[in-house]
Every structure is written in structure tokens, then in C-alpha cells.
Amino acid sequence: MKKTVYTGKAPEAIGPYSQAVVAGNLVFTSGQIPIVPETGTIAQGDISAQAEQSIQNVGEILKAAGAGFGDVVKTTCFLKDMNDFVAFNAVYAKYFTGKPARSCVAVRELPKGALVEVEAVAVLGE
């Protein structure tokens, strides 16, 4: 069983992909940059503000799929600048309290000039 997930409470995909896909009992979110769904623009502010928006977008997609932050087993996080690692972690820790497995890397550039992108894998029914 495979189905796509869509919610108007998270940004529209800016390319040929889905916000998330549910395959069996797994939810795979697409990477979420800090786009404010209501405006379609990048959240203003520093890494903390952008991390909040990116993670909230992930949360809305998880909710639409029938999951939540507590169901997340793996995240992948992309930072434009590894100097933002500590500030990013402070925001991340508020949401992912179950401490899922994680990769966090610095990248040269993210879409729309974002400072951060976050994706998640969750298990339904846990």
C-alpha cells in the first residue's frame, strides 16, 4: 500500500514531488524548508525562526498522515551553515523529544535561500 499525503497547512510542493508518502506503516516526508504556508514566503529571521517553521511544516504533514513527532524514527536535517548547529538543536529538541535517529549536515545551498531543511520518517501505529 502506498499513498500520497497532502495538507493545506504545510507549503505546497515547489517541484514534482509529494509532501509525504505513506508506504505500509511508514511515513516519509519530503524535506521542509521554512516556507510560511499562508504566504508562500520564507519565514523571516535567524536559524531559530527558520527551524521553527520548517519543523512545524513537518509536524503538519505528519498529522495529515496520521502520525506525530513521537512516531518519528529518523530525521535528516540540512543546514546552510554548521555554525547554526547549536541554535538549530535548541529548536529541534523541543519537538523531537523521543530523540529519533538523525543525520545533520551542512550544504552549500538550499531552495529559496533557506537556512534549514528538515525531513522525517515516522512509523504509524506505534
Query: 112: Cβ–Cβ under 8 A, 6 or more apart, which residues?
Result: 14, 33, 35, 42
Nearest to 64 by CA among 118, 113, 21, 17: 21
Please count the CA atoms within 13 angstroms of the CA of 67 that sit on its side-chain side: 27
CA distance 34 to 56: 9
Residues designated as active site:
104
